[in-house]
Structure 1
Amino acid sequence: MKNTCLVSIKHHERYYLIFTFQGILTAKEATKAITEWKKLFEEKKNEKFTLIFHALEMTDYEPLARTSWQKTIVELSGQIENIWVVTTSKLIMAGAKIMSMFTSFSIKTVSTEDKVYQYYAEQAA
């Protein structure tokens, strides 16, 4: 996958699934990432994950990529705890709001990934 990287980590007793996007997310790349995502969720079917979409270097996305992502969020919602988008792009923020409307999640946007971890550290304190 040229523009999409998927990493699973456990940090302070919380599982994270981090996607890193660069450039334009195509429907083809989204399909490949979704396949890996589903495989990981199947391997850890008793765990819940916080999803982080790291999109600071993402410039755009194909509409079919976004709708595929939305459908997968709905399909796998039982294993998703929260969703965060790391971006400073108004276009990507708008896409996150659209995805929120079509899923049961209030997708949060932040400007750095550290703000996600800081949020959970403050919640635990």
Structure 2
Amino acid sequence: MDITRSTVFTYDSVPEHAISKKLLDRIDSLEKKLERLDKGNKPMESKVSEETINDLIANSDVDVETIFDKVTRVSIKLPNGFVLTETSGAVSSENYDKNIGFEICMEQIKHRLWELEGYKLASSIY
């Protein structure tokens, strides 16, 4: 079945018990999205960009500390106040490098941000 924007659905002839609440909610959601499109709004982006992740990090407060002379802990407070914390450690303090620990933690934080932003986007679309 080909559905276009001009397709009109009516449920007057269908008994209410035959239509699930979930289906009705989904239809309402889709109708609202079509209304936004019809009003000239641009469609929502359907992917998270690297620029979005980098902007989040650039606009966040970052705290880096060394623990027990061999562990790096990086905490980042995002613009909305949410805090992520990651750690990276060496087997011994002789092998410890704070810069390497920082890079590893930031990669882990970036990975988590991709997941969180992807979830946020999927929730707004569906």
* Higher RCO (CA < 8 A, seq sep 6+): 1
What TM-score does the superposition give when structure 2 sets the normalisation length? Answer: 0.22
**Higher radius of gyration, 1 or 2:** 2
What TM-score does the superposition give when structure 1 sets the normalisation length? Answer: 0.22
